[in-house]
Structure 1
Amino acid sequence: MYEDSWYSFVPDHALKRTPSTSQNTAHKRRESLLQQPNGGKQSDAAEPLRQLFEEPETSIDPPEPTLTRRAKSYSDFYRVVRAQLSRDAAAKKRRKRTKGGKGLEALMVEKPEHTIPFRGLLPARSLDAELVEASQHGYLLYRDQLEMTERHLDTLLADADGALHLLTSLADSFRYVDTQTSSFQAQCDDLLSEEKRLRKLADEVGTDLHYYAYLDGVTRRLNAPGASRLVDHENFSEILTNLDACIAFMAKHPEYRDAESYLARYQSLLTKALHLLEVGFTSHLDRVSAEISRQILATQSEAARHALAYGRAEEMVLAADGLVANVQCAIRSCYDQLGNPIPGQNFDYYSNTAINLFSSYSDVRDRDLRPITQHDLETFRKETKEVNAETACRNFIKQCYERSFNEAALFAKIFSIEPQYSMDTQSAYVALKTQQKALVNAANVAPIATNVQSVLQTSELQVICNLLGWITNEYLLLEYDEEETRYSVHCHDLTARLLMEHIWPFTDNCFENEVAKSISKAPISPESLKITPIINGVASSNAHPIAKRALELLAMYDQAMPKERSQKSSPVIFRIVHETILALQRAESRLKTNKAANPDPDPDLFMIKNLLILKNGLVSLEIGDVRAQPSGMQHFGHIWDTLSPQNWMGLFRGILGGTLSLGLWSSSADPAATANGMATTGRNQTDQDASEKLDELLRQSIYAFTQRWGTLINAARGGKRGAQSLATTEKELDEKLMTAFGGQPEVMAKLKEAIQINAQAQKEVKAEKGSR
C-alpha cells in the first residue's frame, strides 16, 4: 500500500532540529505526509511539514545557562536580580513582537488522533513539555537564584550571630581581666616611678662623688716628677676642663661637706696646671728662637729673612701640636674668636695666663725680628734725607702694614684668636696693647707713629696734610669696585687706630702751633690795613694777610681730615676762626684809633670785607652748619636774609631815639629784647660757636656801616651845613664799594639797598620824635 519512495521526499537534514531552518512563512499546519500524490508524478517534491516547526526565534532548545555573580551583600544581590529581570522582560517582548498572534495558535495545535511514527520525528507530548520548559526557563533560573541567595543569607546571618556572640564573650573577658589587673598595674606604676627616682638619685650621688673623687688622681698627676711633660699631650686639656667643672660644682654647692676646702685645692691645682703650660710654651718658644734668630743674623737677603721669620718659625712652633692645642684651649677659655672676654668662674686665672703667654711670645718675636726692624728704620731715615719726608713716610707705613699683617696671621694660627679693637679693659686687644714693643702688630701701632712723627715734627704743615690725605684715601676709603680682602680690612683697622690715637692728635697740635704763630701772634703792619683793588676778580685777593692765612689753614685742614672732624665741633676749626676774628678786631681797633689821621680805609668796611671772605671760606669747605652755595660771594645772601633789612624800620620805631648800635643786636635776640638791653655780645667768646660768632660780627659791621652812610645820605639830601652834596656822597660811596667789592655787583647792590632803607628809617624816626 505504501511505497518506500514516498519517504524519499523527506531530506536528511529535516531530521535534525536545528534553529537554522528557514521559517519565513506564518504558522500553518503542514499537509500530511501520508497523502498520496495526485497522478503519477512521483518526482514532485512535497512541501515540508511546516506545522511541526517554529520560527528560529522560538526554538524549543533551552537557552544557554548563565552563571550569575554571587552577591557580596544584600544590595549587590538586589542589583543582580533587577538586571536579570530586566533582561528577561526585554527577551519576552521581543518574542511577542516576532510571533504575533499566530504564535499562540501554533502552540494550541490539536494532537492528531492517528499518527504514524517515523524516523526523525518527535512525539507531540515531548514537544509540549519542551516548549513549557523553555518558556519557564527564566523563571526557574530566577527561582534557583533566589533559593541560593536565601541559603547564602541564612549562612551569613548564622555567621554574624556567631561572631557577635564571640565578641560579646571576649569583651566580658577583657572587662574581667581589666578589673582584676587594675590594682596590679597601679602597683607596677608605683614601682617604676620609685625605680626612676632611685636611679636618678643614684646618678646624682655618683656624679657628686665624682667631683670629690677626682681630687686625688689629678693631684698625683700634677705633682708627679714628670708633670711638665703633660702639657705636650692633647689630654692635658681634659685636666683643665675637669678642674673647671669641679671648681664650678664646689662654688655652686657651698653647703656640701668640705666644699670650701675642695674649692681651694682645685683652684690651686688649676693655677699649677696653667703654670706648667706657661713654662712649657716659653721653653718651646726659646728653642725655636735660638735657631731662627741665628739663621736670620746669618743672612742679608730680605726674602730669606722673611721666609725664616714667618714660614720657618710657623712650622717649628706648630710642630708641637699637642702643646699648641693646650695653649689654644687655655686662651679660648677666657677669650672668644675676636678677643672679647668670656665671663666665668675662672676668668682671672686664664686671663693672667693668657697675658703671660702673650708677653712671652711678644718678647721672643721682638728679639728674633730686631735685625729686620732695624733695617727698616735705617732705610726710612735714609729716604727721609735723600728723597723727601712724605715719600719716606709712605714707604715706611706700607712696610709696617705688611709686617703687621704677617704677624697677625702667625698670631692667629698659634693662639686661635684674632683680637679686634676694643675698649674693654679685660679684652685681648688691651692685653696686647699694653705690651709695647718695637715690632708692629695688630694692637701695637705706636712704632709707626713714633718714627713718622719724629720726621714730620720738623716738616711743613702742608707735608703733614698731604700724608694724612694719602693715608685716608689709600686705606680708609675703598673704591666702589674694589674688592675687600683680609689685607685691606687689616690695613683699614690699623689706619683707623693710627689716626685716632696718634696722627690726628699730632696734626691738631701742629695746627694749633701754626695758628698761634701766623694768626694769634702775627704782627699787624700799617700796609696790611689798606684795602687794595681786587686782582683778576678774585674776592680774597685784597683781603688782610691774616684772613688769607686763615683760609689757607682751613683748606689744608679740610684736605687732611674727614668731614666728621672738620665740622663746627672741631677745636682746630674753632681756634682758626676765633683767633682770626680776634686778629681782625685788633686791626679794626687800630683803624679806629688812626681814623683822624688816616680816614681810609673805613673800619666797618674793612671788617665786612674780611669777615665775608672768612665766611665764604667756611661755606665753600662745608664747615659748620653752612651748606654749599653757588660760587662767588654766596655767603652774603645768607647773612643778608638773617639781617632782614626790611624790618629795620620797625626796629627803629621800637627804639625811638635810643642809641642805634648793632652791638645790642645779636642772632639770638629779637628787637624787643634788644631794646630792653638783652644782648649776647657780653658772653664769653670761647663758649660760642665760631660760625655764630662770625655771623654776629658781620651783622654788627654791616649795620654800623649802613647806619653811618645812611646818616650821610640824609644830611646830603637835607642840605645840612658842612655836608657834602648828594652826588659827591654817592660817588665816594661807590668808590669805596668798588674798591672793596669790585666785580661783585650783588654785594654792592645789597649794601646800597641797606643804606637807603637805613636812611629812610632814620628819617621816619626823626619825624616821629619831632611830632612828639
Structure 2
Amino acid sequence: MYEDSWYSFVPEHHKRNPSTTQTTGHRRRASLLQQPNGSKQSETSEPLEQLYEEPEASNGPPEPTLTRRAKSYSDFYHVVRAQLSKDAARKKRKSRKHKEKSLDALLVEKPEETIQHRDTPQQISLDDELLETSMQEYLYDEVLPSCTVRVMADNLCRLYQEQLEMTERHLDSLLEGANGALQLLSSLADSFRAVDAQTTSFQAQCDDLLTEEKRLRKLADEVGTDLHYYAYLEGVTRRLNAPGASRLVDHQNFGEILTNLDACIGFMLKHPTYRDAESYLARYQSLLTKALHLVEVGFTNHLEHISSEISKQIASTRSDSARHALAYGRFQQMVLEADGLINNVQRVIQSCYDQSGNPKSGQSFDYYSNTALNIFSSYSDARDRDLRPITTHDLEVFRKEVKEASVETACRNFIKQCYERSYNEAELFAKIFSIEPQFSMDGQSAYTTLKSHQRALVTATNVAPIATTVQSVLQTSELHTICGLLAWMTNEYLLLEFDEDETRYSLHCQELTARLLTEHLWPFTDTAFENEVTKSISRAPISTESLKITPVVNGVASSNAYPVTKRALELLAMYDEAMPKERSQKSSPVIFRIVYETILALQRVESRLNANKASKPDPDPDLFMIKNLLILKNSLVSLEIGDVRSHPAAMQHFGQIWDALSPQNWMGLFRGILGGTLSLGLWSSSSSSAAATAGKPNQVVAVEQDANEKLDDLLRKSIYAFTQRWGTRVVNVNGAGAAEMRELDDMLVTAFGGQPEVVAKLKEAIQINAQAQKEASEEKKKKGTR
C-alpha cells in the first residue's frame, strides 16, 4: 500500500571521487563519508611558525595508523553543530591575534618577559592547528563555509518535517480505515442477529428432525437385532443336522453355538408375546439338546478310545509305580490332547456349576445338568474299569495284612493308601473338568451328582468303599480296636500340629476323614457300644460273689467296685478316647445309655440286697450304692474336663461331688424328717424317674432329666439313708459303743480304703444326723411336759 522509501529519513548522497582534482583557486574538502588515507594529512592554510625540527626519518617502515570509520548520517547533526562552534571560535581567535599584533609594537617588554612570552602567539597557533588536525578524522579535507552548513541543516530539518507530515497522513488514513471496518462489522453483527432471529424456528424443526432420525435409527437397530434371533435358526439347524456334525465338538468355536443358543432361548423367554416366539423357543431348546448330546457322545467316545489302550497296559504291568504313571500321567495326557473337545466339555460343566460345584441358576440349567450327569457317569465308569486291577490288588494286600499283622495296622495302611489315590483322582478331575466339588447338602450340586454314581473307586465324593472294607473286619474285632482306629484317625488328620502347615493334601485328608467318621465310622462305633452295653451291663447276671465288698487293691478306688460298674468305667474311657470331646460329653446318647443302664443294674442289686437283709455276709445296700455311684460320678466328672485316666488312683473329684450334695443343709432336713414333715422336693426328680421307669426295668426310657441328675438323686438318697440309720444307732446306744464305732470304721475302710476324705465326710454326716435326732427328741419331750 505504501512504499518503503517513504519511511527513509535520510536521502542518499553520492560520494565524491577522491581522485578528482580540484582547482587551486577554489578547493573543498573530501566528503565526510570517505575514509581518510592513513598518514596523509590535510594541508594547512598558514605555515606553522617556530616548529621544532623533527629528527630524520629512519629507513624502517612507516608507523602504522588505524583507519577510522566515518560516522553515519545519524551523527551528522552533531558534526555540523561542532563545526559551527569551531568556526565561531576560529573567528574569535583571529580577531584576538590581530589585536595582539597591533599592540606588539607598542609594548616594551623586559628581557625576562620577552624571553618568557616570546613564543606565546605561535604556541597558541600551534594548539589550534593540532586541534584542527585531530578533527580531520570527522570533517572534510577543507573547512566548509558556514553558509553551506546552514543550508544542509535547513534541508535536514525540512526533511524531518516532511517525514513527520507523511507519517501523520498515513496514520490518519489508518484511523479512517479502522473506523470503516468497525462500522462494517457492526452492520454484519446486526445482520447476523436478524438472520438468527428469523431461523430460530427453523433450527428447532431441524432438531426435532434429528431426534426423530435417531429414534428411528435406534428402532431399526433394535428390529435388526431382534430379527437376528429369528434368522439364526436356519443356519444353526443346518450345521447341527449336517452329516459331519459330530466333528464340530472337536473345535473350540463350538462353544459359540452353545452361547448363541442360550441367547436365543433367553430372548424368546423374555419376549413371549413376539410372533411365533413359542415355536422358535421349542426349536431352539431342541437344538440345544442336540448340541449337548453331541458333546456328551464325543467325550464318551474319546474316553472309550483312551480306556481301551490304558486298561490293557495297566493289566499287563505288575509294577506299582508303572501302574500309577499309566493311570494318572498317561491318562491325563491323552485326555487333554483333545483340547477343543475338553474346552467344550468344561463349557457345559461351568454353565451349570461354579468352581466349588454349587449349582448356577439359569434358564437352561436342567439341560446342562442332565448332560453333566451323563458326562460324570461316563467318566466314573471309565475310571472304575481302568483302575479295577489296582483296586483289586489293594484289597488283596489289605486282607493279607489283616491275617498276618493286626486289624488296626491293616486298616491304617489301607486308609492312607485310599487317601492318596483319592487325592490323585481329585487333581485329575479338576484338570479335566475345571471344577473342584466341595461337600454340599444341595441336591442339585455337583457333589450330590457325583455321589449318586458311587463306584468301587475311592474319590473325593465317594468314601463308602473305605468304610465298607474297614467295617467288614471291624465287626468281628474287639471294641478297643475300633476305638484305637478312630482315635488314630482323629489325631492324625483332624488335629494338626501348631507348626504344621496346611497343604492341599492335608486339607483333602481332613475332608475325607470328617466325612468318613461322620457318615460311616461314628454311627458304626455307636452301634458297637450299644451292643456292648446291652451285653455286659443290661443283661449282666448277678452273682453272689460279685456282691461282696472286698478291700481296695493297691489304693485303686474302683478295684473293689461292682463288676458292672467297672465295665461301665471301661466303656466310658474307651468312648472318650475314640471320640472328640464334643461327642463324648454327657449329652451323647452312648454316654447316657452307659450311665443309665449302669444305674438300673445297681438298683437291681440294691433291691436284692434289701430283700436279703438277714444274710450277714451281704454288704449294706446303701453303702453298696454309695460306693458304686460315687465311682461312676467321679468318672463322669473326669470326662467332662477331658481328663480320663486308664487307671485312676483316687476319687479326685469327690470334694466337688460332696459340695454338690450340700451336706450342710442336712441338719434342717433331718429335723423336718424327725418332726414328721418330710420335704419331698429333694427326691421329686428321683421319684418321677422311678415312676417313669416303673414296670420297665430292662428298657431305656426317654426321660426329660439326664443321667447326671438321676445319678445325683440316687446318691443323695443313699447317703441320707445310710447316715440316718447309723445316726439312729448312735443315739440309741447313747453315743454308740466301741464295738459299734469299730464296726462302722471297718465297714467304711473296707469300702473306701485309701480315701480318707470319703470316710471323714460320712462320719461327719452321721454325727450331724445323730445331733439332729437328739435335739429333735429333746424338743419333743419339752412339748410333752407342757
Question: Given the two structures, how large is their TM-score scaled by the length of structure 2?
Answer: 0.73
Is the Cα–Cα contact under 8 Å of residues 666 and 681 in structure 1 kept in the other structure?
no
Question: What is the letter of the counterpart of residue 486 of structure 2?
Answer: L
**For 1:29-88, what per-residue CA distance to the aligned partner results, in whole angstroms no more than 9, with x for missing partners?**
xxxx9999999589999xxxxxxxxxxxxxxxxxxxxxxxxxxxxxxxxxxxxxxxxxxx
Alignment of 1:323-722 (within 5 A): 323-598=341-616, 600-622=618-640, 632-654=650-672, 657-658=675-676, 665-666=682-683, 681-683=690-692, 686-687=702-703, 688-717=705-734
Equivalent residue, structure 2, for 1:761: 772
Question: What is the SS of the residue equivalent to 1:621?
Answer: helix
Is the Cα–Cα contact under 8 Å of residues 511 and 572 in structure 1 kept in the other structure?
yes
Question: What is the SS of the residue equivalent to 1:225?
Answer: coil
Question: What is the SS of the residue equivalent to 1:717?
Answer: coil
CA distance 1:265–1:594, change in 2 (3 Å): same
CA distance in 2 between counterparts of 1:759 and 1:164 reads 135
Is the Cα–Cα contact under 8 Å of residues 624 and 691 in structure 1 kept in the other structure?
no
**1:642, distance to aligned residue in structure 2 (A):** 2.5
Equivalent residue, structure 1, for 2:314: 296
Is the Cα–Cα contact under 8 Å of residues 331 and 350 in structure 1 kept in the other structure?
yes
Question: What is the letter of the counterpart of residue 227 of structure 1?
Answer: A
**For 1:484-503, what per-residue CA distance to the aligned partner results, in whole angstroms no more than 9, with x for missing partners?**
11111111111111111111
CA distance in 1 between counterparts of 2:341 and 2:528 reads 50
CA distance 1:714–1:655, change in 2 (3 Å): closer
Is the Cα–Cα contact under 8 Å of residues 665 and 679 in structure 1 kept in the other structure?
no
CA distance 1:197–1:532, change in 2 (3 Å): same
Question: What is the letter of the counterpart of residue 404 of structure 1?
Answer: S
CA distance in 2 between counterparts of 1:472 and 1:444 reads 19
Which of 747, 751, 755 aligns to 2:762? It is: 751
**1:240, distance to aligned residue in structure 2 (A):** 1.2
**1:624, distance to aligned residue in structure 2 (A):** 9.7
**1:640, distance to aligned residue in structure 2 (A):** 2.2
Does 2:204 align with 1:193?
no
CA distance in 1 between counterparts of 2:183 and 2:594 reads 113
**1:171, distance to aligned residue in structure 2 (A):** 8.2
Unaligned residue ranges in structure 1 (runs of 5+): 6-32, 46-117, 123-154, 670-677, 719-723
CA distance 1:532–1:174, change in 2 (3 Å): farther
CA distance in 2 between counterparts of 1:660 and 1:736 reads 29
CA distance in 2 between counterparts of 1:506 and 1:623 reads 26
Is the Cα–Cα contact under 8 Å of residues 439 and 447 in structure 1 kept in the other structure?
yes
CA distance 1:761–1:189, change in 2 (3 Å): farther
Question: What is the SS of the residue equivalent to 1:620?
Answer: helix
Question: What is the letter of the counterpart of residue 774 of structure 2?
Answer: K
Is the Cα–Cα contact under 8 Å of residues 645 and 757 in structure 1 kept in the other structure?
no
CA distance 1:702–1:189, change in 2 (3 Å): farther
Equivalent residue, structure 2, for 1:736: 747
CA distance 1:635–1:198, change in 2 (3 Å): same
CA distance 1:753–1:266, change in 2 (3 Å): same
**Alignment size in residue pairs:** 627
Is the Cα–Cα contact under 8 Å of residues 552 and 559 in structure 2 kept in the other structure?
yes
CA distance in 1 between counterparts of 2:558 and 2:114 reads 162
Is the Cα–Cα contact under 8 Å of residues 671 and 773 in structure 2 kept in the other structure?
no
Is the Cα–Cα contact under 8 Å of residues 656 and 769 in structure 1 kept in the other structure?
no
**1:342, distance to aligned residue in structure 2 (A):** 0.6
CA distance in 1 between counterparts of 2:500 and 2:354 reads 30
Is the Cα–Cα contact under 8 Å of residues 475 and 495 in structure 1 kept in the other structure?
yes
CA distance in 2 between counterparts of 1:165 and 1:762 reads 137
Question: What is the SS of the residue equivalent to 2:362?
Answer: coil
CA distance in 2 between counterparts of 1:767 and 1:355 reads 89
Equivalent residue, structure 1, for 2:234: 216
CA distance in 2 between counterparts of 1:595 and 1:169 reads 141
**For 1:153-186, what per-residue CA distance to the aligned partner results, in whole angstroms no more than 9, with x for missing partners?**
xx9xx99x99999999998788667645544443
**1:632, distance to aligned residue in structure 2 (A):** 4.0
Is the Cα–Cα contact under 8 Å of residues 384 and 455 in structure 2 kept in the other structure?
yes
Equivalent residue, structure 1, for 2:137: none
CA distance in 1 between counterparts of 2:547 and 2:186 reads 127
CA distance in 2 between counterparts of 1:182 and 1:637 reads 105
CA distance 1:734–1:176, change in 2 (3 Å): farther
More RCO (CA 8 Å, sep 6+): 2
CA distance 1:712–1:193, change in 2 (3 Å): farther
Question: What is the letter of the counterpart of residue 713 of structure 2?
Answer: E
Is the Cα–Cα contact under 8 Å of residues 544 and 610 in structure 1 kept in the other structure?
yes
CA distance 1:257–1:198, change in 2 (3 Å): same
Question: What is the letter of the counterpart of residue 760 of structure 1?
Answer: Q
**1:187, distance to aligned residue in structure 2 (A):** 3.3
CA distance in 1 between counterparts of 2:752 and 2:585 reads 28
**1:647, distance to aligned residue in structure 2 (A):** 2.2
CA distance 1:39–1:296, change in 2 (3 Å): same
**1:188, distance to aligned residue in structure 2 (A):** 3.9
**1:592, distance to aligned residue in structure 2 (A):** 1.4
Alignment of 1:68-467 (within 5 A): 179=197, 182-467=200-485
**1:654, distance to aligned residue in structure 2 (A):** 4.9
**For 1:493-542, what per-residue CA distance to the aligned partner results, in whole angstroms no more than 9, with x for missing partners?**
11111111111111111111111111111112111111122222221121
Is the Cα–Cα contact under 8 Å of residues 338 and 420 in structure 1 kept in the other structure?
yes
**1:316, distance to aligned residue in structure 2 (A):** 1.2
**1:554, distance to aligned residue in structure 2 (A):** 0.9
CA distance in 2 between counterparts of 1:390 and 1:563 reads 22
CA distance in 1 between counterparts of 2:762 and 2:637 reads 21
CA distance in 1 between counterparts of 2:115 and 2:187 reads 90
Over aligned residue pairs, what C-alpha RMSD do you find? Answer: 3.6
CA distance 1:514–1:36, change in 2 (3 Å): farther
Question: What is the letter of the counterpart of residue 715 of structure 1?
Answer: N
